[in-house]
A and B are shown apart, each in its own frame.
Chain A
Amino acid sequence: MSASDPNAAIGGRVYALTVLAAIRPECRARVRAALRALPRRRSPFADVEGTHFARLVIVDELVGRPAPGRQFLLFSAVFDGLTAEDRDVYAERVCKAAPPVVDGVLACCYGQPSANDPEGFAAWLAARQIETLAFYFDADATVAEVREALALRERVRAFARETQYAAAPELRERFRRAFPAVAP
């Protein structure tokens, strides 16, 4: 339930995943190269169903502390979900749809299982998850709903322009033809 999992938005249907993992020293150079090799125009996360936002950040120093001599990888995502079970399902989807992230980037971290082990990957994420204190969302909608709503708005806008002088019978007929599936 949304109220019981602090990472889920209260009153919404999205989950905030924040993971901080230590990068293996021998991978320091490789991790940045692997991250930059991820296509930006066609991100691997585009294939992970339900992902609203995702980011990967290298944390190599912290304000107020001497350089730790280690690097950390921050992985965060906002995805459709409410519970830890949804998070585990999401981890499996990442394994399936975004192997360059799992085997290319996150593989640079200690203990990270390969994309062939989705259950192990889900447990790995869970062990390194940082609990959310507060999570704000603007619109309560899944990724699919957002895309559908944006597309519908475009169609309605065009339809309104095209039919501004249509008489009532024509307007209704054209409406039925233009919106056969989405109209109630």
Chain B
Amino acid sequence: MSRAWPSARRWEEACPGNVAGKARALTAIGPMTGGWKLWGLRLAFWARRHVGWFRRSRVKKLRELSFIYYARWALIDGLPGGEGGTGTKLDPPYLYFESNFNGGFEEYIDAFAYVIRLEMKVIFGGVRGFVGPTPATPFKRFIRGHDYECEHYYCAYPEATSTDIAQAVSVRDAFKQLPRDAEPEAFARSWRDFLTKAQAWL
């Protein structure tokens, strides 16, 4: 491992560039081992893209966690050269993982380690030096050892968590159904029904 050992300080304190209001930026890049694990990863991502039930099952768990706004994975096959294109081929490639989430880094990785353990094994299992998702402490050290601090990080809604956004969208959708032209009594009933439905989102 060529990068400096992660700081003992909390991730948010050690890397303030990764913080924008309630949003946090995780940017991890690590070398794959190649072989069947790399092909397993490619197959899993292919299935995620092309097999609806597989994708929905993966997404469902992440949505239940409800603290990730956006996340992405990619493979870096080469480092760009001076004039563009691939300057240095990376074989096997490097895995790129980026997440925009809210809450603490510790809780975030804990949830990854214990709630979507199998997915973590598939995704990071092929990265050199992966220690497994549990216990979570070595896994956190592994992630921090591959994490880069943002020099600049922007979030369009820094005061909202991903849960806030999902709830606000649900409120909006339910609100649109209110019959504003109904008679007063009918409208009042609809309003009460709306509040009953939306109270958990407000």
Q: Which residues of A contact B (CB under 8 A)?
A: 6, 10, 14, 16, 18, 20-22, 24, 32, 35-36, 38, 40, 43, 45-46, 51-59, 61-68, 70, 72, 74, 76, 78, 105, 110-111, 124, 127-128, 130-141, 143, 145-150, 152-153, 156-157, 160, 167-169, 171-172, 175-176, 179, 182-184
Majority secondary structure, A binding face:
mixed
Q: Report yes or no: B80 in contact with A63, Cβ–Cβ below 8 A.
A: no
Q: Report yes or no: B202 in contact with A128, Cβ–Cβ below 8 A.
A: no
B55-72, CB under 8 A of A: which get 1 and which 0?
100010011001011111
Q: Which residues of B contact A (CB under 8 A)?
A: 1-3, 20, 23, 25, 27, 29-31, 42, 45, 48-49, 55, 59, 62-63, 66, 68-76, 79-85, 87-88, 94, 96, 98, 100, 128-129, 145-146, 148-157, 160, 162, 164-169, 171-172, 175-178, 180, 182, 184-185, 187-188, 191, 195, 198, 201-202
Complex alpha-carbon distance, A57 and B27, angstroms: 8
Chain B residue numbers with a CB within 8 Å of A61 are: 2-3
7 contacts between A and B (CB under 8 A): A6-B49, A36-B151, A55-B154, A65-B2, A78-B69, A133-B72, A135-B70
Q: Report yes or no: A35 in contact with B2, Cβ–Cβ below 8 A.
A: no
Q: Report yes or no: A66 in contact with B2, Cβ–Cβ below 8 A.
A: yes
Complex alpha-carbon distance, A46 and B20, angstroms: 12
Partner of A134, one of B73, B178, B182: B73
Nearest-neighbour CB distance to chain B for A22, whole angstroms, equals 5
Residue of A nearest to B30 (CB): A63
Chain A residue numbers with a CB within 8 Å of B69 are: 52-53, 78, 137-138
Complex alpha-carbon distance, A66 and B15, angstroms: 24
* Cβ-closest 4 pairs across A and B: A168-B188, A35-B151, A149-B168, A168-B184
Chain A residue numbers with a CB within 8 Å of B172 are: 145, 148-149, 152-153
Beyond A14-B70, A59-B148, A149-B168, is A72–B79 a contact (Cβ under 8 Å)?
yes
Chain A residue numbers with a CB within 8 Å of B20 are: 40
Q: Report yes or no: B152 in contact with A38, Cβ–Cβ below 8 A.
A: yes
Q: Report yes or no: A57 in contact with B151, Cβ–Cβ below 8 A.
A: yes
Q: Report yes or no: A57 in contact with B156, Cβ–Cβ below 8 A.
A: no
Chain A residue numbers with a CB within 8 Å of B25 are: 53, 55
Q: Report yes or no: B171 in contact with A156, Cβ–Cβ below 8 A.
A: yes
Q: Report yes or no: B165 in contact with A150, Cβ–Cβ below 8 A.
A: yes
Residue of A nearest to B82 (CB): A110
Complex alpha-carbon distance, A150 and B114, angstroms: 31
Complex alpha-carbon distance, A105 and B150, angstroms: 13
Q: What 18 new A-B contacts, CB under 8 Å, besides A132-B73, A172-B182? A: A18-B96, A20-B80, A35-B151, A52-B70, A55-B25, A56-B153, A58-B148, A64-B129, A78-B70, A130-B75, A132-B72, A134-B45, A146-B165, A147-B157, A149-B172, A150-B165, A153-B167, A171-B187
